[in-house]
Amino acid sequence: MSRRKKNFTSILPEHCFWIYHGPIVSDLKELRGALRGDVTNEQFKHHVTKEKNDFAHWTLDTLKDKSCSVVLKKTCTKKGTIRALTECLSKYE
């Protein structure tokens, strides 16, 4: 029996995530791409510290993906966040 993949979430423009002085992303793929690309460590640290994780909150509150939010909360590095997003994205078709 194969595991059923989750449906990928698309959101309206007004619910996009605005990365500090950076790109605007509307889903997990775009977030991972932005983090792999032009998002600096300073921009990343604006959203993720040991005390907070804006990406995890957005994933839970806006994308309604609790399991991915839990995975994202466990990391506070850019590299770890990219790895967590890759893990989350593997659950989608």
- Helix, strand or coil, per DSSP, at residue 65: coil
- Please write the tens of the pLDDT for every residue from 48-70: 999 999 999 999 999 999 999 99
Separation in Å, CA 28 to CA 1, 2, 10, 25: 27, 23, 9, 8
For residues 1-16, average pLDDT: 66
Q: What is the pLDDT of residue 55?
A: 98
Two tokens at 76? 């506070």
CA distance 20 to 40: 10
50 forms beta bridges with: none
Using DSSP, state whether 49 is helix, strand or coil. Answer: coil
